[in-house]
Structure 1
Amino acid sequence: MPCEIVDVGEIADSFREEIVAAIKKEDLNFGPKLVGFLSNSDPTAKTYSALTAQSCLAVGIHYELRHVDKEDLEEKIVEANEDNSVHGIIVYYPVFNSRQDQYLQNVLSAKKDVEGLCHKYIYNMYHNVRFLDEGKEIKSIIPCTPLAIVKILEHIAAYNRLLPYGNRLHGRVITVINRSEVVGRPLAALLANDGAKVFSVDINDVQEFHRGTGLQFSTHEAKNTSYKMTDVLPFSDVVISGVPSANFKVPTELLKDGVIAINFSGSNNFGDDVKHRASFYAPAIGKITIAMLQRNLIRLYQNYRDDE
């Protein structure tokens, strides 16, 4: 079976059409405003910001990048929280590359957190709470990059639509190589909540994420294992990697034939020979991540417009 390179542009375009339609429906002729804070010199963050600016211009969203010294960042986030002309905020991490970054995620108002990284949204995601209200009309915000990967898997039919919603990855074995609090761990939880058995690979160990049982069936459970990455790759239906290093490559020879391979690192974690193993391969997901960012921005406006 030949490998199909996932057309992330096509997937992103379908969501951009929804975003443009939503802006027109809400009569947002002024254009919702997204503010990005850059406090590091990471070239990947700069590239991501430039792509965000270009994509926002195309759909009618006003994007403003603010370069801020990291020592002043908390104060500037608070100012943006209180500014009614700002509808969404994104912070480009890492800033301090420590627990201070997690603190900053919670300084950001839930009303403007387009990345879905504040405690309210992370709690909901880990506990599989998909709505903010009892009537289940107001959807919670899901972190952009994990959500982008979910949308890729849905697009290529890795999700079984014949199964009930919320369990459509039942029977799938997925390995996620990255356990960061921004992408890797949230992604593993999302996939487990949808029914997959997920192996979460970190530099030190491999954890297994899976659906709970009994009273905990609605959310995931995680347990330590004695596995190494090389143990779990051969029986993984999907391998998703986001190691921020040009020196790391997923060992292609260990991948099963027909695997789905997705890279979300700024440095591609798969060699070209992955095409000889994979049925689907996504070497980058940035365009879809930005579309999810914009989608979350519109959702935040709809959720909280009456609070202004």
Structure 2
Amino acid sequence: MSSNKALFAGRTILASSISKSYTQEISQKCQTISSSIMSPKGKKPFLVGFLANDDPAAESYANWTKKTCEEMGFEYQLRRVQNKDFLEEKIIEANNDDAVDGIMIYFPVFGDAQDQYLKQVISLEKDVEGLNHTYYQNMYHNIRYLDEQKTKKSIVPCTPLAIIKILEYLKIYNPLLPVGNRLYGKKAIIINRSEIVGRPLAALMANDGCVVYSVDVHNIQKFTRGEGLKFSKHHVEDLGSNTPELLKQLSLDADIVITGVPTDNYKYPTENIKEGATCINFSFHKNFTEDVKSKAGLYVPSTGKVTICMLLRNMLRLIENKYQNTSSTNV
């Protein structure tokens, strides 16, 4: 029995392996921009990150951002803000600095609605994480361009985008189906409904044809385009309170399990995983126990490196949007 389990055990896929499929493309594009009219005097694309908390996850993310930027030809600067009440002022200064191409904030800062406000302070033209209301609205309504001429591409929030790219890399998307329908027939459960990752990810996957069960502490919602994909964009249905019984029922029906619970003591029950399901964790903490590998067909324990690649990809797109009249390159 144990030998059979070993024989049919799934694979663990690291974010570092997945990110390699994007690093060369992004590095080459970075070099092209640095040597073109889009970058005066050969200036490297310049990203500024603001850190105004003592969250170890944010510190780790900042370190990986710096390392990745340096490896791929970008300039990066971490600006620590000791008094978070002055963070807005510092962001506005970066907005007005022509040398700065991209801005990001390491959340949480205040951990409440004020964080939602800070996302809107970053200039639309420098928001590499795609958290601006305009980008969110476009994403939810499946609008891919910022202008009627379709010359300026809209930005997708980088962590949800990273998970979509991971699903594509793992061949979960069906390339034989039309674009926009390639998750048709798949069911997913997402243990997180934050406005930064969980909710937009559920919308993106549902817009691509997936039935998504979105779970937070209080309730479970169903994101879907309806039977036979009859709707052009996703609709949301409230399924009721988040009970262990309902969670297990939906989990055992899910082809894809995605977790993002930001606490070290949360572990997704392995017995709730459908045999052969794809399991992805985007939390800084390990939301799965080691025995996930006995159930999952494919297991991705973290997404950070792919997220940073998508962040830099977004920044290059912002630069191209700014100079699209003088360049025909695309990311």
The reply to whether TM is greater than 0.5 is yes
SS in 1 for 2:323: helix
Residue of structure 2 equivalent to 1:207: 221
Residue of structure 2 equivalent to 1:154: 168
Residue of structure 2 equivalent to 1:217: 231
SS in 2 for 1:235: coil
Residue of structure 2 equivalent to 1:284: 302
Distance 1:124 1:130 in 2: 7
Residue of structure 1 equivalent to 2:126: 112
* 1:202-246 per-position Cα deviation (integer Å, ceiling 9, x unaligned): 000000001158998322111100363222111000000000111
Residue 7 of structure 1 deviates from its aligned partner by 3.1
Q: Does 1:173 align with 2:187?
A: yes
Distance 2:108 2:285 in 1: 16
Residue of structure 1 equivalent to 2:271: 253
User: Does the Cα contact within 8 Å between 1:212 and 1:218 map onto a contact in 2?
Assistant: no
Alignment partner for residue 22 of structure 1, among 26, 29, 32?
A: 29
* 1:81-134 per-position Cα deviation (integer Å, ceiling 9, x unaligned): 111100000101111100110111111111000000010100001111122233
Residue of structure 2 equivalent to 1:190: 204
User: Does the Cα contact within 8 Å between 2:14 and 2:302 map onto a contact in 1?
Assistant: no
Structure 1 residue runs of 5 or longer lacking an equivalent are none
Distance 1:137 1:239 in 2: 36
User: Does the Cα contact within 8 Å between 1:259 and 1:280 map onto a contact in 2?
Assistant: yes
Look up the equivalent residue of 1:220 and give its one-letter code.
Answer: H
User: Does the Cα contact within 8 Å between 2:224 and 2:236 map onto a contact in 1?
Assistant: yes
Q: How big is the alpha-carbon RMSD for the aligned residues of Structure 1 and Structure 2? A: 1.8
Alignment partner for residue 38 of structure 1, among 48, 51, 75?
A: 51
The structure-2 alpha-carbon separation of the partners of 1:214 and 1:74, relative to structure 1 and needing over 3 Å to count, comes to: farther
Distance 1:137 1:268 in 2: 41
Distance 1:216 1:32 in 2: 43
Distance 1:87 1:108 in 2: 12
Alignment partner for residue 144 of structure 1, among 138, 158, 167?
A: 158
Structure 2 residue runs of 5 or longer lacking an equivalent are 1-7, 326-331
The structure-2 alpha-carbon separation of the partners of 1:77 and 1:237, relative to structure 1 and needing over 3 Å to count, comes to: same
Aligned structure 1 segments of 4 or more residues deviating by more than 3 angstroms:
212-216
SS in 2 for 1:208: strand
SS in 2 for 1:269: coil
Q: Does 1:244 align with 2:262?
A: yes
Look up the equivalent residue of 1:192 and give its one-letter code.
Answer: A
Q: Does 1:6 align with 2:24?
A: no
User: Does the Cα contact within 8 Å between 1:211 and 1:221 map onto a contact in 2?
Assistant: yes
Residue of structure 1 equivalent to 2:64: 51
User: Does the Cα contact within 8 Å between 1:212 and 1:219 map onto a contact in 2?
Assistant: no
Residue of structure 2 equivalent to 1:270: 288
Look up the equivalent residue of 1:109 and give its one-letter code.
Answer: S
The structure-2 alpha-carbon separation of the partners of 1:260 and 1:66, relative to structure 1 and needing over 3 Å to count, comes to: same
Residue of structure 1 equivalent to 2:328: none
Q: Does 1:72 align with 2:86?
A: yes
Look up the equivalent residue of 2:313 and give its one-letter code.
Answer: R
The structure-2 alpha-carbon separation of the partners of 1:214 and 1:234, relative to structure 1 and needing over 3 Å to count, comes to: closer
The structure-2 alpha-carbon separation of the partners of 1:216 and 1:123, relative to structure 1 and needing over 3 Å to count, comes to: farther
User: Does the Cα contact within 8 Å between 2:152 and 2:324 map onto a contact in 1?
Assistant: no
Distance 1:275 1:214 in 2: 33
User: Does the Cα contact within 8 Å between 2:151 and 2:324 map onto a contact in 1?
Assistant: no
SS in 2 for 1:209: strand
Distance 2:53 2:247 in 1: 31
